[in-house]
Amino acid sequence: MAAGIDDIAIYIPRLYIDAADFARARGLDPIKLQKGLGVSQMAIVDANQDPACLAANACLTIMQKNKLSPDDIGRLYVSTESAFDESKAMNSYVIGMLEQVYGQGAFEHCGGVETKFACVSGSYALYDNANWIRAGEAEGKHALVVVSDIAKYDMGSSGEMTQGAGSVVMLLNDEPRLLEFDPKVTATSIKDEYDFYRPFGKETPIVHGQYSNLLYMIQVRKALEAYKKKVISSGLIRLKPDETILDHMDYINMHLPYSNMGKKALAYLVRHEWRQLPRWKKILEAIGMDEPRPKDPRGTIESVLADDEFMEKDHEFTKMFTKTKEYQEVYESKLSSSLIASSMIGNLYTASLYLGFRSSLEFEYQKGIDLAGKRVGFGSYGSGSSAMVFSGVIQPEYEQIVKNMNLEVEIGERRRLTWKEYEELHENKLSPEESMLHAKKEFVLVDVQTKTETRGERRYVFNE
Ligand code: CAA
């Protein structure tokens, strides 16, 4: 049985900090954010928003748009790394909010859990729900997989310039209009690591930034190797001797903690794939230098990062590689459109990859390209760490969905925060009733209990 993404909806908070304002306040060159990281604006949550209400708002949008009733939904999964409870799952809060609109008990049949594995857990949730559909367990019902996060880093840390917030929901079923997953090719890699993690009770993560960048690329490459074996052995794709698996992906969506990380990761994957092919000789001639090798090619990530001479040369080599006509062609045609939303919104952790997919659909369609039949590859990464590579094919009915996509309209009117407002929000100085915006037709947080016997209980309302 087929399974895939039938429709997709987003909810993005309307407050944002502009990269230029951020850079000025932190004494940074704004070009580092805008050009170096590809960050123009970062969405920031209001005092009356948490990841559960971002998720519920996205769910309500997709249900209303598709005129779905709760009976049509068999499963609702929420994937997040911004959990605020160690036991109660975020999907239960989301169901509680949706039942304010659809009636008490309307979702009581609807199974689901909250999944956690840094930014990759949404991909595991998609895979598990696709398999629920493939197994025939769905009995005609749809699954909702919501990825929702607030990417918040310590004040003054290097991660602070890669913040953001938002949620993406995907409606899955056995007759998907947008994308059907390729069966039996989903591949993973996993390793116990401490590149980025958030200990109990801490609101912001502990991050080893450059280590996490390199680990992301290594892990996705390993998952790509496993994916390659599966597509070849399953007969999905037949590779000619001068081809790589990436040649068979019309679009490549990468996890985007910031938009340029997609560029970096794609360059890394393409470089490793092309190295074994006849075309590499021509590339090396165009670059005019040999590919640098670390002092200890079998060393650890730490030893590679500490090898200053190698890092500098490798940086230079990568820059020149990304300027070659051949790489530029791949970048422009397969990745660039997926980065547009990320630079406007920032990091969405679990939701970053899927916001990128959504962005790619809208902006590729706007180029006048017929997307039907195009294969999309996904490179998902979660710190701690695990990667997942999988693919799917855009369906003939895709236009019904994609023709109405309009990122700016869907985000709505935004408000640029002053530095003082940003600091107040970051330091949680405001209570929900002191929110900066008073949104209509949205779920908002009204209260988090502090009394011993009810500590942590959250109340939400739907603002009519
Ligand atoms: N003008 C133009 N470009 C500039 C510049 C300037 N004045 N100054 C710096 N740059 C460029 C740099 O050359 C660099 O570009 P390249 O990557 O192409 O070399 C880019 O801007 C960033 O500069 P640095 O690498 O010096 O930046 P940094 O070390 O201060 O911080 C970071 C970058 C490590 C990503 C940091 O923001 C961070 O720790 N972020 C959080 C962790 C993260 O996002 N990790 C990503 C992988 S892990 C993951 O994906 C899980 C997750 O979601 C968190």
Q: What is the pLDDT of residue 254?
A: 98
Structure tokens at 276: 């074994």
Q: Rounded to the nearest whole angstrom, what is the distance from the C-alpha of residue 39 to the centroid of ligand 1?
A: 10
- Per residue in 129-180, pLDDT tens? 999 999 999 999 999 999 999 999 999 999 999 999 999 999 999 999 999 9
Residue nearest to atom 15 of ligand 1 (CA): 36
Q: Among the atoms of ligand 1, which is closest to the Cα of residue 36?
A: 21
pLDDT at 187 > cutoff 90: yes
- In the chain, the N- to C-terminal Cα span, in Å, equals 41
From the number of C-beta atoms within 10 Å of its C-beta (0-12, 13-18, 19+), residue 434 rates as exposed
pTM for the whole structure: 0.97
Contacts by 308-316, CB closer than 8 A, 24 or more apart: 316/289
- Per-residue pLDDT band at 297 (split at 50, 70, 90): confident
Q: Which residues line ligand 1 (CB under 6 A)?
A: 29, 31-32, 35-37, 118-119, 158-159, 161-162, 196, 207, 209-210, 212-213, 216, 255, 257, 261, 264, 315, 347, 349, 381, 383
Residue nearest to atom 41 of ligand 1 (CA): 159
**102 within 8 A of 72, measured Cβ to Cβ:** no
Q: Rounded to the nearest whole angstrom, what is the distance from the C-alpha of residue 161 to the centroid of ligand 1?
A: 9
| List of residues 6+ apart from 393 with CB closer than 8 A | 179, 180, 182, 373, 374, 375, 376
Q: Among the atoms of ligand 1, which is closest to the Cα of residue 210?
A: 34
Q: What is the pLDDT of residue 298?
A: 86
Q: Rounded to the nearest whole angstrom, what is the distance from the C-alpha of residue 182 to the centroid of ligand 1?
A: 33
Compute the average pLDDT of residues 379-384.
98
How much of the chain exceeds pLDDT 70, in percent?
Answer: 100
Q: Rounded to the nearest whole angstrom, what is the distance from the C-alpha of residue 332 to the centroid of ligand 1?
A: 21
DSSP lists the bridge partners of residue 7 as 171
| List of residues 6+ apart from 332 with CB closer than 8 A | none
Mean pLDDT in the chain? Answer: 97
Mutate to test the pocket of ligand 1, among 31, 195, 212 (most ligand atoms within 8 A of CB): 212
Q: What is the pLDDT of residue 23?
A: 98
Residue nearest to atom 38 of ligand 1 (CA): 159
DSSP 372-429: TT-EEEEEEEETTTEEEEEEEEE-TTHHHHHTT--HHHHH-S-EEPPHHHHHHHHTT-
Q: Rounded to the nearest whole angstrom, what is the distance from the C-alpha of residue 119 to the centroid of ligand 1?
A: 17
pLDDT at 44 > cutoff 90: yes
Q: Rounded to the nearest whole angstrom, what is the distance from the C-alpha of residue 64 to the centroid of ligand 1?
A: 39
Q: Rounded to the nearest whole angstrom, what is the distance from the C-alpha of residue 37 to the centroid of ligand 1?
A: 6
Q: Is 164 left (phi over 0), alpha (psi -120 to 50) or beta?
A: left
Q: What is the largest CA-CA distance in the chain?
A: 70
- Per-residue pLDDT band at 319 (split at 50, 70, 90): very high
For helices 19-26 and 419-426, the axis angle rounded to 10 degrees is 80
CA 30, CA 18: separation in Å to the nearest integer?
10
- Per residue in 333-375, pLDDT tens? 999 999 999 999 999 999 999 999 999 999 999 999 999 999 9
Q: What is the pLDDT of residue 385?
A: 98
User: Which amino acid is present at 73?
Assistant: I
Residue nearest to atom 37 of ligand 1 (CA): 159
Q: Rounded to the nearest whole angstrom, what is the distance from the C-alpha of residue 47 to the centroid of ligand 1?
A: 28
Compute the average pLDDT of residues 9-15.
98
pLDDT at 72 > cutoff 90: yes
- Per-residue pLDDT band at 17 (split at 50, 70, 90): very high
Compute the average pLDDT of residues 210-232.
97
Q: Among the atoms of ligand 1, which is closest to the Cα of residue 349?
A: 53
- Per residue in 418-440, pLDDT tens? 999 999 999 999 999 999 999 89
Count the Cβ atoms, other than its own, within 10 Å of residue 398: 22
Residue nearest to atom 43 of ligand 1 (CA): 209
DSSP 130-141: HHHHHTT-STT-
